[in-house]
Amino acid sequence: MARSLSASLGLPHTDLDEILFAGDEPLPLDAFRAAAERVTRGDAWVVEGNYSKLADVVWHRADVLVWLDLPLSLVVRRIVYRSLRQLTGLDTSPQARRLTWNRAFFGHRSLLRTAIRKYRRNRPRYARQVAETAALGVHVVRLRSGRASRAWLARQLDHG
């Protein structure tokens, strides 16, 4: 979605995962925040990624915040699909190069287990943080299904 919006609007695109996982180890939080702050210093940009710890340097600087508040079943399907693409070499992103079967599915802290745990724990907090962001004047779009997300994106691309 972010890449499509970026291309349609002619704006620079940044994937926060590519910043966080650019090296052998994830960036420390202070370096990650500084890098995100540099990206959002400009007048126009599209940032992809959900890091609530960066809300003040990303969310609060946005004109529009799109919250993909999708059902857990869809989140799980997408994680499985993306992880399989990465593990089989069809995706060569920095994150994909670090992924193993254990990290994706089988480890105690696997992506899949972590996503399920964080989904349940973080949704109420995200709702509060998104409301705070909206109170600052940022337009919030909350999309709750794949269908709603596709329809919203199509409308944006038609008007982009």
Residue given tokens 């291309």 in the structure block? 7
- Residues 96, 21: Cα–Cα separation, whole Å: 10
- Residues 27, 23: Cα–Cα separation, whole Å: 8
Question: Do 153 and 4 meet the contact criterion of CB atoms below 8 Å apart?
Answer: yes
Phi, psi of 97 (to 5 degrees): -65, -25
In the chain, the amino acid numbered 60 is: H
Q: Is 53 exposed, middle or buried (0-12, 13-18, 19+ CB in 10 A)?
A: exposed
Residue 9 has pLDDT above 70, yes or no: yes
User: Would you state the pLDDT for residue 69?
Assistant: 95
Q: What is the mean pLDDT of residues 140-148?
A: 96
Residue 32 has pLDDT above 80, yes or no: yes
Residue 160 has pLDDT above 70, yes or no: no
User: Would you state the pLDDT for residue 2?
Assistant: 95
Mean pLDDT value across the chain: 92
User: Would you state the pLDDT for residue 92?
Assistant: 80
User: Would you state the pLDDT for residue 141?
Assistant: 97
List the single range of 21-25, 38-42, 110-114, 129-133 with lowest mean pLDDT.
Answer: 21-25
DSSP 3-state helix, strand, coil percentages of the chain (rounded to 5)? 60, 10, 30
pLDDT in tens, 58-101: 999 999 999 999 999 999 999 999 999 999 989 887 677 778 89
Tell me which of 148 and 24 has the higher pLDDT: 148
pLDDT in tens, 93-130: 767 777 889 999 999 889 999 999 999 999 999 999 99
Q: What is the mean pLDDT of residues 31-50?
A: 95
Tell me which of 96 and 157 has the higher pLDDT: 157
